[in-house]
Amino acid sequence: MIVTSFPDGTVIYGNRALSDVSGVPLEDVVGNRTPDFYADPADRAALMAELDKRERVTNREVLLRRADGATYWALLSVVKIDFGDQPAIISAFHDLTERKQLEERLRVLALYDPLTGLANRSLFFDLLRHEIARADRDRDYRFGVLYLDLDGFKLVNDRWGHDVGDVFLVTIADRLRACLRAIDTAARMGGDEFTVVLSGVKDAQEAAAVAQRVAMAVREPIHHGDLVLQPAVSIGIVIGDAGRADPEELVRSADAAMYRAKQGADHDRIAIAVSTAPTGA
C-alpha cells in the first residue's frame, strides 16, 4: 500500500509489503515523488485521468515493474481520501503473479498435450476452423491437413512399457515440430496419432513434400539406453480451400487417406496418400 499527496504525488506513507514487492527501499520512497512502478506509462496516465472524473478506481489489473526491471501483474485499487489536512490518494496493490502463473498452467492444460507439448485436439480444431474461415474470405487461399499414424507403436508399449512409449512419442513430436514452418501447427490427437495444419500451401504437391520431409525425419532410429527403436509412419493428406466448411469432415478425409497409405506402404513404411476433400454444403 502507498499513500501519496494529491496532486503533486509526494509519497506520504508506504508499508513494508510495498518495498518487498517493488524492491524499492521505503527510505527511498517516503518523502519523494512516487516512483514509476508502471511498466507502461500510459497506464498511469489513464488511471489519473479516470480519477479526475470519479473518486475511486477498483480492481484494475495493471502490469508493474520491479526495481530490477522484472515485470509482474497486480490488482490495483485507488481511492481519493483526506489524509490529515491534505488531499491524498491511497493505492493498494495485490501481487497477481501466482494467479497469473496458475491461469497460464490451466491455459496450457486446456490447449496443449501434456506429454508432447503439441497442440491438443481442441486447439487443433480451433486452428482448422480459422483456416477454413480464411479460405472463405480469400478464394485463392489453400491449406493442408496431415494425419499421421505411427505404425507398430502398440508393440513398443507392449514390449518395453509405457515409459519407453512416452520417450518414443516425445521424440516423434520433437521431430515433427522441427520439420514445420512457424506458421504451421502440429497436434497430438491421442495415442499415436498426430495431425498438422499447413497454412497457405499452394497445392497437394507442396503438402506432399512436407509430408515426405516429416516421414524421413520420423523414421530415423530412436536410441534410448540400450534400445534402438525403428519408427514408421503413415501419412494422409487433404487440401482445404473455399467451401470446405466442416473441419471434422476434413480430418476424416485425411484419416481415410492415411489408411489408404498404410495399406499400400512399402517395407520402409514411408506411406503417403492424398485425399480430395468433400465440398461443404
Check 192, 203, 241, 266 and give the catalytic one: 192
Q: How far apart are CA 143 and CA 120, in angstroms?
A: 19
Scanning the chain, the segments in alpha helix (DSSP H) are 16-22, 41-53, 97-111, 121-137, 153-160, 162-178, 204-218, 247-263
Is residue 145 a contact partner of residue 196, using CB atoms and an 8 Å limit?
yes
Q: How far apart are CA 44 and CA 242, in angstroms?
A: 46
The C-alpha cell 515440430 sits at: 177
Q: How far apart are CA 275 and CA 255, in angstroms?
A: 9
Q: How far apart are CA 273 and CA 258, in angstroms?
A: 6
Residue 192 annotated among the catalytic residues of the structure:
yes
Active site residues: 192
